Copies of this chain bind each other. A is one copy, B any other.
Amino acid sequence: MEQTSVTNIRWTLPAVCFVWQTAMIILFGVFVRYNGESDAHWAEFKMARNITSDIDNDFYFRYPSFQDVHVMIFVGFGFLMTFLKRYSFGGVGFNFLVAAFGLQWALLMQGWFHSLDYTDGMIKIGIENLINADFCVAGCLIAYGAVLGKVSPVQLMVMTLFGITLFAVEEYIISDLLHARDAGGSMVIHIFGGYYGLAISWVLYRPNLKESSQLQGSVYHSDVFAMIGTLFLWMFWPSFNSATCDHGDGQHRAAINTYLSLAATVLTTFAISSLSQKHGKLDMVHIQNSTLAGGVAVGTAAEFMLMPYGSLIVGFCCGLLSTLGYLYITPFMEKKLKIQDTCGIHNLHAMPGVIGGIVGAITAAAATESVYGKEGLVNTFDFTNEFKNRTPAVQGGYQAAAMCVAVCFGIGGGTLVGLILRMPIWGDVTDDNCFNDEFYWEVRFAQKTPSFSLSLSLSLSLSFFLCKNVQNPALIRAPYEV
């Protein structure tokens, strides 16, 4: 399979990387410094705030969760996307590139909005910024899922650059202006990321994609690789949803809610997957993806007093809807709406994100002082300063508004960025060459010998092959034993 000059990214990819990384160094030099808890002046900071023990440094509240989130971003998302039989390198490799690229820009963008120290104009970063940068990147990786195998790495970088920017603005509107709560980012991350990716995929519609259908599927081992991604996402989702919650009960409760929701999702996913097939056989696509929907949907309300049974109900519904989505909505979207969604992010992120937003709005509106306690209500919803007179009912309304903002940013931003990505300069493959690592990676699976030796070695090869086969019955059933 000879490479066409079209997919040659020898100049564009390095150029983008170098220019971008240089810009980052300059901007970080001008704008970014350590915050009070990571600066060597910590001793003075401690004294000024009457902190008695080093363990009260925010690092110890959040670092374990941060590392779990980090694993979700790089191994979770990365390996979830290795399921394609010939696009595992692209799945895990471009995920790696995009995430490392995006998190730097996210630190800056989010920093300007949330961590700017007005005394010196500097962004002051600490562990919470790293978590938020990872979150921000997650939005873009979700979008990558929709276009997996169909875009060039350069397109991915452009998509990420704009995605991070849009994300930071959207997040600022939702969390600061609307003062909506979204601990696990059902709205900020999943709705935005999902619709952003779907809109891009819609603009980049490939009418002849079925010519690549031979490669748009998994093989036995690639499905097992993808399970690594699934499981690390599933296991660490409690950390994802609790990482930036309030110290103490906030983080504690968010972890419990997520743990329960995800457990319920697994059961309904298996149930629907089995029900949908003639012989009740399970489909790995569902197991790999829909089992995660409960973590998405419980994101907004994770910190709320959702109650253990509430979490189970959310998980129950999500496993059900997400699996049905794979069975009916994805094919419908592809045929009727011209949206090709490689990983089914609509079922795993967009739709569960909307459920999460609704659950969050309802739970917030229904919050009472008897359930939360006087102080608990204020802490959980941050009813302080200019928001100190906001009531739960009003908060519910703002939560709903936040959801709409996320949807709009996703669809609007995705459509615009999709148009940019349609320019014929980004080195993407043709419709019949999608889902194929060979265009962007050195792939070693067979040493090709020149064909001029064909006639010569034909007889030789025949006898050799047969001998081999007889000696080695394993070859005869090779595909079975792989």
A375 touches which of B34, B43, B476, B477 (Cβ 8 Å): B43
Partner-contacting stretch, out of A122-130, A186-194, A199-207, A357-365:
A122-130
14 contacts between A and B (CB under 8 A): A13-B271, A17-B267, A21-B316, A32-B309, A59-B251, A63-B64, A74-B231, A100-B263, A104-B312, A127-B255, A283-B441, A458-B470, A461-B469, A478-B478
A389: chain B residues within 8 A (beta carbon) = none
A251: chain B residues within 8 A (beta carbon) = 59, 63
CB A232 to nearest CB in B, in angstroms, measures 7
Q: Which of A274, A283, A477 has the most CB of B within 10 A?
A: A274
A14: chain B residues within 8 A (beta carbon) = 270-272, 274-275, 280
Residue of chain B at shortest CB distance from A312: B25
A263 x B474 contact (CB < 8 A): no
Is A423 part of the contact surface with B, judged by Cβ < 8 Å? no
A24 touches which of B63, B126, B264, B466 (Cβ 8 Å): B264
Partner-contacting stretch, out of A216-224, A337-345, A396-404:
A216-224
A267 touches which of B100, B225, B312 (Cβ 8 Å): B100
Bound-state CA distance A232–B231 (Å) is 13
Contacts A38-B252, A272-B14 given; indicate if A104 touches B470 (C-beta within 8 A): no
Is A334 part of the contact surface with B, judged by Cβ < 8 Å? no
B461 x A470 contact (CB < 8 A): yes
Is A53 part of the contact surface with B, judged by Cβ < 8 Å? yes
A150: chain B residues within 8 A (beta carbon) = none
A8 touches which of B280, B442, B448, B451 (Cβ 8 Å): B280
Near B by CB (< 8 A), chain A positions 119-162 give 125-127, 130, 153
A481 touches which of B22, B274, B479 (Cβ 8 Å): B479
A10 x B75 contact (CB < 8 A): no
Contacts A21-B268, A42-B376, A440-B281 given; indicate if A446 touches B475 (C-beta within 8 A): yes
Q: Interface size (A, Cβ < 8 Å)?
A: 169
**A interface secondary structure, majority:** helix
A467: chain B residues within 8 A (beta carbon) = 454
A59 x B220 contact (CB < 8 A): no
A305: chain B residues within 8 A (beta carbon) = 34, 39-40
Residue of chain B at shortest CB distance from A474: B446
Bound-state CA distance A386–B464 (Å) is 76
A3 touches which of B9, B61, B279, B379 (Cβ 8 Å): B279
CB A318 to nearest CB in B, in angstroms, measures 12
Is A110 part of the contact surface with B, judged by Cβ < 8 Å? no
A63 x B474 contact (CB < 8 A): no
A103 touches which of B97, B263, B372, B446 (Cβ 8 Å): B263
A224: chain B residues within 8 A (beta carbon) = 82, 88-89, 92, 225
6 other A-B residue contacts (CB within 8 Å) besides A221-B482, A449-B471: A3-B279, A38-B253, A63-B65, A74-B234, A219-B445, A446-B480
A18 touches which of B18, B130, B268, B307 (Cβ 8 Å): B268
Is A78 part of the contact surface with B, judged by Cβ < 8 Å? yes
Is A390 part of the contact surface with B, judged by Cβ < 8 Å? no
CB A237 to nearest CB in B, in angstroms, measures 10
Is A393 part of the contact surface with B, judged by Cβ < 8 Å? no
Bound-state CA distance A68–B239 (Å) is 12
B444 x A218 contact (CB < 8 A): yes
A208: chain B residues within 8 A (beta carbon) = none
B449 x A473 contact (CB < 8 A): yes
A454: chain B residues within 8 A (beta carbon) = 467, 470-471
A260 touches which of B29, B93, B104 (Cβ 8 Å): B104
